[in-house]
Structure 1
């Protein structure tokens, strides 16, 4: 795509949140004014689609609900609070469009004001992603001015970040990394300083030695000199040093000596993510969600053949019962992932594995899903056996009514699909779910042998399907 216009308003929400815990009235008003200006530009250009996202500062603010309501009421823009994993997915999407990642293992480092996202990917697929509270504004609020004592500041940051460094080291492990890529405004500024101060030709990469030299050189300059001599914006001049320190620490773990700077980031990722919908294409996040779910299944040593068989049969049931459930493509994907991962809790213990599975999925990254979508998947897994969804369960009761209904309908379908591979022999080749009269349906199975065990299990577990959809189900 072609970038027509770019507008920026430096409103530091994190400066409030990371020191006070909430967003002050002054910054709420500053945000509202900035978004009103953006809104008028959008309207002037006749832009039909708009997406606004909020990241770590709004995620953590005690008054985030009030902040979001004020913004919506006064600007008619509805911000979407995204997780660190979603932020990483969008940045990775932008990078994959700017660089050739094919057949390469890459570590992506997104340096933000409140958090740092570290992503391990292979090609266009994210393998893992972690969000660390090492953002530049946060570090500045925590440790004060860099100019007082650069060495002392660097040591405090590195000691504070040591646990994160160890986790990153474990995540990368023995894997040979082909590319180390960094994004964010501070990273791009460091690339420009490489040209300006070190007289290099390109701003699209920097070596670790050059990065160390820049941190030392710029870190010793007073703040005003960074602004006057280097041309850094005031809101960039103070945070560029913590950005350089954290970037150097993480990049060193890749065992590469060079960091690529593609000059893209979250905003480009959002635009690329919106493009398929605008062109009526299948969104790329579906592929990422499937890859993330598969990696989670492998991590917890699931029986993948069983999970994939149940997912295939659940999809056939979903397709053939559309007139009963009246759900769409989003719910179909939720069912697919829940079916693949339904037995993931057996890694902890076979007994009550539906509860263990709920906990694992609830607290593991499924990159591409929103938190509410992931919550739905976790609940479907929670109820795929034993007790059906019930308002007696506080966590289920806390879901919005629409999501409770989705969980209940998809759980009913998953219970049938799971029954169809009770023997783990993958004997069912296909199935046909057909209406016989107004309230009667028949399930016909095609497969190897007499399928007695599968039919027996279906008759035991079909009640939820019958109750939810108000039908009787005959097993043929």
Structure 2
């Protein structure tokens, strides 16, 4: 129905109160609770998270499908060597399916599809044809219906994976792990950690021939697994087929394992910056998707990083903000894909619609606002996107925009004449000295046009030399 029922909310609150008592008994110092597909979509999910916060003092973090995929990828990378490999990860849940493309241990793309097992079961069983349920209509077998429903997603998946060879196909989720066990039980194989495509087809046929009651009785499946195991197997087969592999690896790890690994890292080394290689890889892929000028964008990112390092005395920001500035600089022009006119606004829309793997929602909001204000008017509270940011983040955006505008101005011609920049403090002013080839007259003109925000936000005079 799209919302959580009151009885469900009460049961969840009671469960979390129990979790809190157990955690207190064991003197737990670090608790992290995350929610996925159902809570992303429930119209009243905020009521549940608030009640749990008030009664159990546990804050629930509703994560995106991309963040869910990242944590699962983290768990898989600890179990299977992904370096030097091109891999596709398929995580099948109740509400959604996450398909992640990984190259050399980094996520390059992830997509979430609304064809989780419970969702498929409810959607396809909820329709009627000629007064008959799809399950009971011999002319429309359930396996065929699942394939038809998932066909549109298959085409998108095929486009995302591309033509390059896939080295590994990896399946995660409770249903996938159960299929591995059924491989042992029904096909008399020794391992549950690999599933050949031919074996998956045989399992689908065997499961399809059994009623839900027979699956419980003969296969010893839990009732809440027996009904969803068939759509899970079909979806897994459909996606794995697109990868061109002959077998699926089942590492028996999932979201909780990635979460535990991340918490362990934080406890051992303290909170970490977003993984630079992962974020950069994701941003570069997004830039390529929208046809960015890679040479210009990389130079602007490099110059922005230099300006950041040379002006720490003024902005007093840290390495997290430096990375956000570089990513904003890398993607500042992607709005040209829609239209050169107002490309700053178009770039903002693109960043709001596409996730960058490795950044949380707050960090991505900052990057989107950097793209929005890299030119023309400075950030303003008349803009709802900027106004919705917390005051501290508004200040971060404004400071970083001042640096991004200067960096972009140094390559206003997109000819990469400027090679390096030196921003230094003099007695009564700051001096920005640019080095490169040619007379750099156009670049100096661009900088003079764009220095006003720097002077206003930092309260200093800036001279261009």
**Do the two structures share a fold, i.e. TM-score over 0.5?**
yes
2:93 equivalent in structure 1: 112
How far did 1:228 drift? 4.1
Distance in 1, Cα, partners of 2:264 & 2:419: 37
Distance in 1, Cα, partners of 2:326 & 2:265: 21
Whether the aligned pair in 1 keeps the contact of 2:49 and 2:59 (CA below 8 Å) is yes
Distance in 2, Cα, partners of 1:174 & 1:315: 35
Provide, for residues 442-464 of structure 1, a one-character-per-residue CA deviation record: whole Å limited to 9, x for no partner: 22333344433222221111111
How far did 1:99 drift? 0.7
1:247 equivalent in structure 2: 236
1:387 equivalent in structure 2: 377
1:48 equivalent in structure 2: 29
How far did 1:284 drift? 6.2
Report whether the alignment pairs 1:274 with 2:263. yes
Distance in 1, Cα, partners of 2:136 & 2:55: 41
2:130 equivalent in structure 1: none
Report whether the alignment pairs 1:301 with 2:291. yes
1:405 equivalent in structure 2: 395
How far did 1:82 drift? 1.1
Whether the aligned pair in 2 keeps the contact of 1:442 and 1:473 (CA below 8 Å) is yes
1:14-25 map, 5 Å: 20-25=1-6
- Please tell me the root mean square deviation across aligned C-alpha atoms, in Å: 2.2
How far did 1:219 drift? 3.6
Q: 1:135 aligns with which of 116, 126, 134?
A: 116
Q: 1:204 aligns with which of 193, 196, 199?
A: 193
Q: 1:189 aligns with which of 169, 174, 178?
A: 178
Distance in 2, Cα, partners of 1:99 & 1:385: 45
After superposition, the Cα gap between the structure-2 partners of 1:116 and 1:146, relative to the gap in structure 1 and judged at 3 Å, is: farther
**Please, what TM-score do these two structures have when normalized by structure 2?**
0.92
How far did 1:434 drift? 2.8
After superposition, the Cα gap between the structure-2 partners of 1:237 and 1:197, relative to the gap in structure 1 and judged at 3 Å, is: same
After superposition, the Cα gap between the structure-2 partners of 1:87 and 1:173, relative to the gap in structure 1 and judged at 3 Å, is: same
Bigger shift: 377-386 or 344-353? 344-353
1:215 equivalent in structure 2: 204
After superposition, the Cα gap between the structure-2 partners of 1:106 and 1:309, relative to the gap in structure 1 and judged at 3 Å, is: same
How far did 1:146 drift? 8.9
Bigger shift: 125-134 or 297-306? 297-306
After superposition, the Cα gap between the structure-2 partners of 1:208 and 1:310, relative to the gap in structure 1 and judged at 3 Å, is: same
Whether the aligned pair in 2 keeps the contact of 1:146 and 1:241 (CA below 8 Å) is no
Report whether the alignment pairs 1:464 with 2:453. yes
Distance in 1, Cα, partners of 2:320 & 2:136: 53
Distance in 2, Cα, partners of 1:312 & 1:424: 14
Whether the aligned pair in 1 keeps the contact of 2:33 and 2:58 (CA below 8 Å) is yes
Distance in 2, Cα, partners of 1:187 & 1:355: 42
Distance in 2, Cα, partners of 1:363 & 1:456: 34
Distance in 1, Cα, partners of 2:377 & 2:277: 32
How far did 1:234 drift? 2.7
1:78 equivalent in structure 2: 59
Distance in 2, Cα, partners of 1:473 & 1:392: 28
Distance in 1, Cα, partners of 2:50 & 2:274: 30
Distance in 2, Cα, partners of 1:146 & 1:286: 49
SS at match of 2:165: coil
Report whether the alignment pairs 1:442 with 2:431. yes
After superposition, the Cα gap between the structure-2 partners of 1:339 and 1:253, relative to the gap in structure 1 and judged at 3 Å, is: same
1:258 equivalent in structure 2: 247
1:359-398 map, 5 Å: 359-398=349-388
1:158 equivalent in structure 2: 147
Distance in 1, Cα, partners of 2:49 & 2:4: 11
Distance in 2, Cα, partners of 1:149 & 1:330: 57
SS at match of 1:253: helix
**Please, what TM-score do these two structures have when normalized by structure 1?**
0.90
SS at match of 1:389: coil
SS at match of 2:219: coil
SS at match of 2:70: helix
How far did 1:264 drift? 0.8
Provide, for residues 414-435 of structure 1, a one-character-per-residue CA deviation record: whole Å limited to 9, x for no partner: 0011112223343434333233
Distance in 1, Cα, partners of 2:268 & 2:440: 45
Provide, for residues 167-189 of structure 1, a one-character-per-residue CA deviation record: whole Å limited to 9, x for no partner: 11222232221111110011001
1:175 equivalent in structure 2: 164
Which sections of structure 2, spanning at least 5 residues, go unmatched? 126-132
1:332-351 map, 5 Å: 332-351=322-341
SS at match of 2:359: coil
1:329 equivalent in structure 2: 319
Which sections of structure 1, spanning at least 5 residues, go unmatched? 1-19
Report whether the alignment pairs 1:310 with 2:291. no
